[in-house]
Amino acid sequence: MVNGVQIGTILGGQVLTKNPEEDVYRKTAIEIGVNEDKYVDAVKKIKITAEKNIKAAAEVLFIVANSLSQIGYQQLSIKSMSNELTDSFSQISSTMEELSATSMTVTENQQTLNDEIVNVQKVSEKINTVLVSIKSIADQTKMLGLNAAIEAARVGELGRGFGVVATEIRNLSQNSKETAIEIMQLTSDIQASVKTTLEISDSTLSNTEQQSAAIQQTNASLEELVAFTEELNRIANS
């Protein structure tokens, strides 16, 4: 019996609980078509045992048979479950490997993004440096234009045309200075935005690296579980 279901029957024979009655067995011999004397002689050789001993032996056999059946059933169940566990953990492990590969790609992409953001920051700094130079040149040009205007005024009518040119030079230098200041403000805003972006990107990179490490650790644990289930499956099949 396994889980309340009868899966087989054990038949035992050739034992009697009392001395055989010859007339009965001779009649049986005639019915089955064998020699009566030899059949009776064979019956007399059967061991005679008390009924309680037969029942006790049958009970022991019942217990042993059921125990072996239960062990076999449990082993079969373990085998089935270990196979399911192996398949499940293999699928999970495969999925985690894909996640791990994806997380590594995300980490690499995030690192590349960080590098590009840093490059943008460096370029904006270079632009700012050039703008400072432009502002300085504009200041010097304005001063030269002012000096030229003074000289033009000093020479009178002859310097009138030169004075007009000097005025235009001053206006141009002033416009260049104002444009440089505006661009410097824009680059300053860009640098501030880049700084914020870089901080967020660094935080994201840190998180992705932690996630990648966690996924790799989980994957390693799953590989151990797969190894355990394979060992369980091997034991169940042995």
Helices and strands in the chain: count of H runs, count of E runs? 4, 2
**What pLDDT digit, counting tens, does each position of 150-180 carry?**
766 665 665 556 566 666 666 766 776 677 6
Sequence-ordered strand ranges (E) for 4-155: 15-16, 47-48
The 3-state DSSP class for residue 7 equals: coil
Domains and CATH numbers, the chain: 81-237 (1.10.287.950)
**What pLDDT digit, counting tens, does each position of 11-39 carry?**
777 888 888 899 999 999 999 999 999 99
**What pLDDT digit, counting tens, does each position of 46-62 carry?**
989 888 888 888 888 88
